[in-house]
Every structure is written in C-alpha cells, then in structure tokens.
C-alpha cells in the first residue's frame, strides 16, 4: 500500500535566515517544501510551476505587493490555503488579514509544535471547506437544471435563491430577487380567491409545516399563466428552522391540453349517444317505412278500384 505523499508547502519570506530556518523546520516535521519566495511575483511563479498544498506567508515582503495582497492572489488563482507568519500584529494589519479568510495566524518566532498543529488544522479545514463548496456547487447546479421553479428564503422571508425556471415564471432575475422579500418577488392569485398578501412560503415559515397550493396565477408576471405548486416547505436542520423553499411549475399548456381532452371526451360521449338514438330510431323506422309503403300501395289499389267501379 502506497503511503500518502507529504503536503507540499511554500514559504514566502524575505528574511533569508528566517526563511531557511523555517524551511528546515518543515522538512524535519516531514513536509515537502518548494524553493523559498521573497516577493509576490516569486510566490505566484512558484505556485504556477507546482501548486502547493499550503502557503506560509510573511506579511512584509519585497516588492509592491505585501503578503496580504499576495495571499489574495494565490487564493483566487490556485485555491490554496494561507497561514500568516508576521513578526508583529497591529490591529489594522490583523483586520486586513482577517478579510482574506486565512487558515491560520502565527506570530514569529514559531515553535515547531505550534507550526505543525497550525498546518494540520489549516489543511484539514481547507479540505472540508473545499468539499462543502463542491457540494454547494453540485446542489446549485442540480437546482438550476430543474424544470420546476425553485425559490428559497431565509427566516425573515427574504429570497436567498432562485433557479432559472423561477426567473422565467416570475419575470424577476435572480440578481434582482436576491435580498428582496419573497412577497415582492412572487405574488399568487389563487383560482378560488383574490390575491393573497401572505405567500405559501411565508406560511410554511410561520407554521413550520408543508403548505400545499392549488392552481394559481402569478400577479404581474407578464402573459397570463396558470401555475401550480408542489408546495412550500420549511427547511429544518437538526430540528432548527433555517428557512423555507417553494417549488412550482407552469401548467398553462397542460391545462389547455386537459381542457381539449375533456372537450373531446364530451364530444365522443355525445356522438355515442347520438349513434344510440339513431340506432333506436332506425329500428322503429325499419317497421314503419315498409308498412307505410304497403299502406300507400293499398291506397293506390283502392283508388284505382273506385275509379273503375261504375256509379249508380
């Protein structure tokens, strides 16, 4: 069985003695290292040649870009986790560093045990975060590919997600809908009543239960459409309410086809009834017509006989 390769680490440090000492510590801890970089350009070049699993970044380095700007570029281009190793930490620098969402922050000089634990935690967190992002992208792609419209809201009823089908049916783009109250994005007019101020998804939030919906129309969504909903349901995670989701679809064409089928069925039933009536009438006429002809023939015979009989 092959052993797992050692994580590859890039050190970005412009103090040569500190950099080499740090690199030697990493090797002794069992990590593989790239050649040391002392500037942003060198760091980006090293990562382009061979992408590291983690970057140990000093904040004050050579060149126009400091370590924080360099970390942003490395994260954006290579999706690599960064651990800052500054010599000191003032509030302004710490605030800037936090905005880049680093995986760790250690002040120099760093002890080997602290360095190892920080690296291992950073690698683990980055792996978990990457899996989570991939899962979210997969879920987002799956929802975006659905034929049915999907709208999700948070606890306040504010839209957090709309798939393309929801954009088409509501006439509202996702960029315009995100952050808006759901009642401003989709307003339903039920077939059996007037426009409702409260949407099914808001009821699902308030009542913490699935809310079914019959046929309805979307107010102000352009051409008249009939939509139906699979319902709005609360989103619960470990029993905690996180939001709600509503799934609905355009059934205008389906209802039109159903109406045509129903009309066709009625016409077919009417034709069957007419055929039955005609059959019954024909049965009666089958007796009446020959008898009528016989009677007419008899009248003609009597008429001829009367004409030939001399009058007194």
pLDDT of 1 > 60? The answer is no
Q: Are 27 and 106 in the same domain?
A: yes
Q: What would the two tokens of residue 57 be?
A: 């970044």
**Under 8 Å between Cβ of 150 and 247:** yes
Q: Are 105 and 222 in the same domain?
A: no
pLDDT of 153 > 60? The answer is yes
Q: Are 75 and 154 in the same domain?
A: no
Residue 263 to residues 266, 267, 268, 273, 275, Cα–Cα distance (Å): 5, 6, 8, 15, 18
Q: Are 154 and 247 in the same domain?
A: yes
Average pLDDT over residues 162-166: 89
The per-residue pLDDT for range 180-217, each reduced to its tens digit, is 998 888 877 766 555 555 678 888 888 889 887 777 77
Q: Are 133 and 237 in the same domain?
A: no
The per-residue pLDDT for range 88-112, each reduced to its tens digit, is 767 887 888 888 888 888 888 889 9
Average pLDDT over residues 119-142: 82
Q: Is residue 268 part of a domain?
A: no
For the chain, percent of residues with pLDDT exceeding 70: 73
Q: What is the mean pLDDT of the chain?
A: 81
Q: Give the domain extent around 69.
A: 8-141
**Under 8 Å between Cβ of 77 and 84:** no
Q: Is residue 58 part of a domain?
A: yes
pTM higher than 0.85: no
pLDDT given for residue 312 in this prediction: 55
pLDDT of 6 > 80? The answer is yes
Q: Are 18 and 130 in the same domain?
A: yes
**Under 8 Å between Cβ of 90 and 98:** no
Average pLDDT over residues 18-30: 93
Q: Is residue 283 part of a domain?
A: no
Q: Are 80 and 62 in the same domain?
A: yes
Q: Are 122 and 167 in the same domain?
A: no
Query: How many structural domains compose the chain?
Result: 2
**Selected residue with higher pLDDT from 14 and 145:** 14
Q: Are 136 and 123 in the same domain?
A: yes
Last residue of a domain, one of 141, 171, 191: 141
Q: Are 192 and 218 in the same domain?
A: yes
Domain holding 232: CATH number?
3.30.450.20
The per-residue pLDDT for range 41-61, each reduced to its tens digit, is 999 999 999 999 999 999 989
Q: Which residues in 234-272 are b (16+ Cβ under 10 Å) and which e? A: bbeeeeeeebbbbbbbbeeeeeeeeeeeeeeeeeeeeee
Average pLDDT over residues 12-31: 93
Q: Is residue 70 part of a domain?
A: yes
**Selected residue with higher pLDDT from 220 and 44:** 44
Q: Which of 111-115, 167-171, 178-182 has the weakest average pLDDT?
A: 167-171
pLDDT given for residue 229 in this prediction: 57
Nearest to 104 by CA among 91, 115, 118, 114: 118
Strand order in the sheet with 227-237: 159-162, 149-153, 240-250, 227-237, 211-218, 188-190
Q: Are 164 and 184 in the same domain?
A: yes
pLDDT given for residue 25 in this prediction: 94
Q: Is residue 194 part of a domain?
A: yes
Q: Is residue 290 part of a domain?
A: no
Q: Are 94 and 192 in the same domain?
A: no
The per-residue pLDDT for range 242-299, each reduced to its tens digit, is 999 988 887 766 666 666 777 666 767 766 776 666 666 666 666 666 666 667 676 6
Last residue of a domain, one of 141, 170, 188: 141
Last residue of a domain, one of 254, 274, 300: 254
pLDDT given for residue 112 in this prediction: 92
């Amino acid at each position: 069985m092959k052993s797992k390769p050692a994580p590859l680490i890039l050190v970005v440090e412009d103090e040569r003695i500190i950099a080499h000492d740090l690199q030697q510590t990493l090797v002794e801890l069992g990590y593989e290292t790239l050649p040391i970089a002392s500037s942003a350009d060198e760091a980006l070049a090293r990562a382009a040649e061979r992408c590291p699993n983690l970057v140990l970044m000093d904040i004050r380095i050579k060149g126009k870009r400091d370590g924080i700007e360099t970390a942003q570029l490395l994260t954006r281009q290579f999706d690599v986790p960064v651990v800052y190793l500054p010599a000191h930490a003032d509030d302004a620098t710490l605030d800037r560093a936090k905005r880049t969402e680093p995986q760790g922050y250690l002040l120099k000089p760093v002890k080997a045990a602290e360095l190892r634990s920080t690296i291992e935690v950073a690698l683990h967190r980055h792996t978990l975060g990457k899996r989570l992002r991939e899962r979210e992208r997969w879920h987002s792609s799956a929802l975006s590919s659905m034929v049915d419209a999907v709208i999700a809201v948070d606890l306040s009823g504010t839209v957090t997600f709309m798939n393309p089908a929801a954009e088409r049916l509501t006439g509202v783009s996702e960029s315009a809908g995100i952050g808006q109250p759901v009642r401003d994005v989709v307003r339903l007019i039920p077939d059996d009543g007037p426009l409702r101020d409260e949407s099914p998804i808001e009821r699902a939030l308030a009542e913490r239960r699935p809310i079914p919906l019959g046929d309805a129309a979307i107010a102000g969504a352009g051409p008249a459409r009939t939509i139906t909903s699979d319902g709005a349901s609360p989103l619960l995670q470990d029993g905690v309410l996180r939001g709600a989701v509503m799934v609905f679809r355009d059934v205008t064409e389906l209802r039109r086809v159903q109406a045509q089928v129903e009309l066709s069925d009625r016409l077919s039933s009417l034709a069957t009834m007419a055929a039955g009536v005609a059959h019954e009438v024909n049965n009666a006429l089958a007796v009446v017509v020959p008898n009528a002809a016989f009677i007419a023939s008899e009248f003609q015979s009597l008429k001829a006989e009367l004409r030939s009989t001399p009058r007194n």
